Amino acid sequence: MALNPSTQDFTQDFTREKPPQSPWRHPFTPISCSLMVRRGVRAAERQGLRVTGTLGVLDLAAERGLLDFAQAIQFLEATTFRRPMALLETLLLKHKGSGNK
């Protein structure tokens, strides 16, 4: 719903009981999402783009001193984040004691 600039109280434009269903909402399953991610990775690689995942982004941010890698991993561990354990262990050793940020 668009804001009605003629109203004094903009909150009245958002007081519906239930928000309208988004036409973009789709009941993705984890399998369909991972297939879509793989397709996206392949498409990006065909275009010559470098592809990285969450750990790669966190690694780069830690290298640049933007965050503490171990603390970021602790936050991720509280979610459903999945990762190759060997890669995670390698990165934790790499950033051990760096205490960035």
Host domain of residue 71: 52-101
Q: How does pLDDT run across 14-56, given as a tens digit for each residue?
A: 444 555 555 555 555 555 667 788 888 999 999 999 888 899 9
Tell me whether residue 9 is in a domain.
no
Give the residue among 35, 30, 39, 37 at the shortest CA–CA distance from 80: 30
The pair of three-digit structure tokens given for residue 25, joined into one six-digit string: 């909402």
Tell me whether residue 63 is in a domain.
yes
Tell me whether residue 45 is in a domain.
no
Q: What is the 3-state secondary structure (H, E, C) of 48-92?
A: CCCCCCHHHHHHHHHHCCCCCHHHHHHHHHCCCCCCCHHHHHHHH
Tell me whether residue 85 is in a domain.
yes
Tell me whether residue 28 is in a domain.
no
Question: Model's pTM, two decimal places?
Answer: 0.60
Tell me whether residue 2 is in a domain.
no
Q: How does pLDDT run across 73-89, given as a tens digit for each residue?
A: 999 989 888 888 999 99
Is the distance from CB of 70 to CB of 95 less than 8 angstroms? yes
Tell me whether residue 72 is in a domain.
yes
- Of residues 31 and 65, more confidently modeled: 65
Q: How does pLDDT run across 90-101, given as a tens digit for each residue?
A: 999 999 977 655
Tell me whether residue 96 is in a domain.
yes
Give the count of domains, the chain: 1
The pair of three-digit structure tokens given for residue 82, joined into one six-digit string: 């999945």
